[in-house]
Amino acid sequence: MPTLNPDVSACIGAGICTNTAPSVFDLDTNGLVLLKTETVDPADVAAVDSAIAICPAQALRWANRD
Ligand code: SF4
């Protein structure tokens, strides 16, 4: 299953990922990205690809996309 390795230290809390893939991303109490799931459902891979592409901090990356 696909997994993510976000760089929380780079996140600026823009919240774009939570709007683009709301079943995968949330914001923690500090407003920084938080994964809602250990593995990404294959149905959400395209939305996560979009979030990775548009994250203004380039904080999102796949650990494993297979
Ligand atoms: S889109 Fe990027 S900067 Fe914005 S909350 Fe998500 S990971 Fe952080």
How far the first Cα of the chain sits from its last, in Å, is 6
pLDDT computed for residue 14 by the predictor: 87
pLDDT (tens digit, 9 = 90+) per residue, 15-49?
A: 999 999 999 999 999 999 999 999 999 999 999 99
Q: How far is CA 66 from CA 10, 15, 42, in A?
A: 25, 25, 9
Predicted TM-score of the model (pTM): 0.94
Average pLDDT over residues 4-20: 96
Distance 5 CA to ligand 1 centre (A): 13
Return the pLDDT at 4. 98
- The residues spanned by each domain of the chain are 3-64
Level-2 CATH architecture, domain 3-64:
2-Layer Sandwich (3.30)
Write down the pLDDT at residue 66. Answer: 84
> How many angstroms separate the CA atoms of 66 and 63, rounded?
9
pLDDT at 57: 97
Q: Are 18 and 44 in contact (CB under 8 A)?
A: no
Ligand 1 is surrounded, with C-beta below 6 A, by 6, 11-17, 33, 55-57, 59-60
Helix (H) or strand (E) holding 63: strand 62-64
